[in-house]
Amino acid sequence: MWGSRAFLAGWLLLLLVQLLCLEAVPISIDKTKVKEPEKKPEEPPASVDTGLHYDRYLREVIDFLEKDQHFREKLHNTDMEDIKQGKLAKELDFVSHHVRTKLDELKRQEVNRLRTLIKAKQDLEGGNDIAVDHQALLKQFEYLNHMNPHTFEVEDLDRLIRSATKDLENYDKERHEEFKRYEMMKEHDRREHLKTLDDEERKKEEEHYEEMKKKHADHPKVNHPGSQNQLKEVWEEADGLDPEDFDPKTFFNLHDTNGDGFFDEQELEALFTKELEKIYDPTNEEDDMVEMEEERLRMREHVMNEVDSNKDRLVSLDEFLVATKKKEFLEPDSWETLEQNQAYTDDEMREFEEHLAQQEQDLNQKAFDLQKQRDELERQQEQLNAQKMELQQAVEHMERLKSQKVDPPPEVLEIPAVERHHPAPEGHDPALQEHHPVPEGHHPAPQGHDSAPQAPQDIPQEQHGQENQDQAQQGLPQTHDNIPPGHNIPPVQGQNQLP
């Protein structure tokens, strides 16, 4: 993607004014001494990640817009201020159908990606059972129109330009804050490590630390970034040219590697490599490469502030030539490196450590609460296991009783009719009636009946007669509840009679 490299490096608007790039001049070859090799087609430079969370979507949109001839032609005649105001976005209505279709597809993919991220975040926060309102959550992503997730419209391009412009302006500030946290954490870890040492080991560690600081500070003089001395050094060592022949315009053309007529942020930072190599060596223990990148960022910001007069985050040839005539370019002040400018103050360090202590306390409290919850869950599980065991034992006991039960003999199940309807009084043995004589003047009473006769209507006549018949067949006394009072009941045959 030829035209988007500078934009992706740091400024969206740069991409919109870049067209076909000229072939970069190798800076390591002295063209006065070495014959230029035969030109060969080169691959486009690798795109640079802007650091934005929608970087891929941004690069793909710009890549396809550059393929439309109408859109590219409009770039020639569009002022950067008009681009900022969204006038260029209106030209989207005139791009080819193929490009519009591809842009629609890219937007749908981006919306689906954001929805996936939202769902993943919801799952991590424990909201699996909560319905996700994607439309509401998509509002936080200002670089696209979430109300229309299907097609890429003029508003989408305008939003993308505005959002990328704003986000990239804040990107350097965020990088500085991130570096500050890095430095404070490094110092915090060093202090915590010292607490674990005894007096002798702590003294040795402190001496080693001071020795590394002195060794790091012992380096050649660093030229002021963007000054004549700094650029002449690049001209001589990187370009292989005589410093007496230094020419600002030639220097600019040599290092405008994509030939677009501007120094973008990456092209500027490349000019500081020689200066940074004076301070940092990745093979040295005392040199931190994270600090080297912060130093590079400081140098680039300084040059931009000095040279970029219209604050578009680009340095044009005219701006560069004007800067080379200023006193700051010819007689600059000395440059103070990071070791001379600590990234944080003592108050910031104290607040940072207090914040870490509070975070540690909160994490410990959460760990304690989680342990309590775990213990409670384990206790409840033990109770459930005990209840389950008791229930299982009860079931097994019932099964044993059921398997050990013996069926009663058949004769026990054959109950005489008289016993079914007239059970004998408790403690009475019917056999005694056969062996003991009945006193004179008394008549035997039927078994199971009171001395007073029952009313005839209590028992149906047919049922009662049937019972008497059954009792006669079995040799048992018959019941005659229907006989009026005062009548004798004839004795049953075979029953003991009075003399």
* CA–CA dist 226, 300 (Å, integer): 9
> How many domains is the chain partitioned into structurally?
2
From 20-24, 57-61, 97-101, 193-197, the region with the lowest mean pLDDT: 20-24
Same domain, 204 and 315: yes
Residue 63 in contact with residue 4, Cβ under 8 Å?
yes
Within a domain: residue 60?
A: yes
Of 304, 322, 344, the position where a domain reaches its end is 344
| Residue for token pair 């409840």 | 380
Query: Between these two residues, 44 and 353, which has the higher pLDDT value?
Result: 353
Q: State the Cα–Cα distance between residues 450 and 423, nearest whole angstrom.
A: 12
- Whether residues 155 and 204 share a domain: the answer is no
The verdict on residue 114 lying in a domain is yes
| Beta-sheet pairing, 262-263 with 315-316 | antiparallel
Question: Could you tell me the pLDDT band of residue 121, with boundaries at 50, 70 and 90?
Answer: confident
Distance CA 234, CA 240 (A): 8
- Range of the structural domain that residue 223 is part of: 197-344
Is position 68 within any domain?
yes
Does residue 210 share a domain with residue 138? no
443 Cβ contact partners less than 8 Å away, ≥ 6 residues apart: 488, 489
Q: Report whether pLDDT(35) > 50.
A: no
Co-location of 331 and 230 in the same domain: yes
Residue with tokens 């009792």: 471
Q: What is the pLDDT of residues 398-416, one digit of tens each?
A: 988 888 875 555 554 555 5
With respect to residue 458, please indicate whether it lies within any of the assigned structural domains: no
Token code pair at residue 52: 């934005």
> In residues, how long is the chain?
499
Report the half-sphere exposure of 291 (CA within 13 A, side-chain side).
20
pLDDT value of residue 3:
38
Checking if the pLDDT of 140 tops 80, the result is no
Q: Are 395 and 444 in contact (CB under 8 A)?
A: no
CA distances from 332 to 43, 229, 268, 369 (A): 39, 9, 18, 60
**Are 122 and 245 contained in the same domain?**
no
Q: How confident is the model at residue 328 (pLDDT cuts 50, 70, 90)?
A: confident
Q: Count CB neighbours of 177 within 10 A.
A: 11
DSSP state of 149: -
Q: CA 299, CA 292: separation in Å to the nearest integer? A: 11
Residue 47: is its pLDDT beyond 70? Answer: no
How does the average pLDDT of the chain come out, rounded?
A: 76
Residues 206 and 321 placed together within one structural domain of the fold:
yes
* Radius of gyration from C-alpha coordinates of the chain: 52
* 275 shares a domain with 144: no
* pLDDT at site 42: 43
Q: Which of 251, 293, 242, 247 is closest to 272 using CA atoms?
A: 293
- pLDDT at position 129, please? 58
What's the mean pLDDT in 433-456? 48
- Indicate if 146 and 207 belong to the same structural domain: no
pLDDT at 381 > cutoff 60: yes
Q: What is the pLDDT of residues 249-281, one digit of tens each?
A: 999 999 999 888 999 888 999 999 999 999 999
C-alpha closest to that of 107 among 155, 49, 48? 155
Q: How far apart, in Å, are the Cα atoms of 329 and each of 173, 201, 269, 323, 459?
A: 26, 49, 17, 7, 136
Tell me: do 129 and 207 sit in the same domain: no
> Both 240 and 153 in a single domain?
no
Using one digit for the tens of pLDDT, what is the confidence trace for 203-261?
Answer: 999 999 999 999 999 999 999 999 999 999 999 999 999 989 999 999 999 999 988 89
Q: Which residues pair with 316 in a beta bridge?
A: 262
Per-residue buried b or exposed e for 267-297, using 16+ beta carbons within 10 Å of the residue's own CB: bbbbbbebbbeebbeeeeeebbeebbebbbb
Angle at 459 between CA 439 and CA 430, to 5 degrees: 35
Q: Is residue 58 in some structural domain?
A: yes
- What single-letter amino acid sits at 250? T
Q: What is the share, in percent, of the chain residues with pLDDT greater than 70? A: 66
| Percentages (nearest 5) of helix, strand, coil residues in the chain | 60, 0, 40
Are the C-beta atoms of 367 and 205 separated by less than 8 Å? no
User: What number is the average pLDDT over the span 311-337?
Assistant: 90
Residue 412 maps to a domain = no
Instruction: From 138, 113, 16, select the one nearest 55 (Cα to Cα).
Output: 113
Nearest to 270 by CA among 308, 243, 230, 218: 230
**Per-residue pLDDT, 369:** 95
Last-in-domain residue among 317, 344, 371: 344
CATH number at residue 338: 1.10.238.10
> Of 344, 372, 393, which closes a domain?
344
Confidence of residue 466 (pLDDT cuts 50, 70, 90): low
Among 70, 62, 49, smallest CA distance to 4 is for 62
pLDDT in tens, 423-432: 555 544 544 4
Mean pLDDT of the 371-384 span? 95
Query: Residue 473 falls within a domain, yes or no?
Result: no
Q: Assess if residue 117 is contained within a domain.
A: yes
Residues 73 and 202 in one domain: no
Place of tokens 């020639």: 76
Residues 132 and 58 placed together within one structural domain of the fold = yes
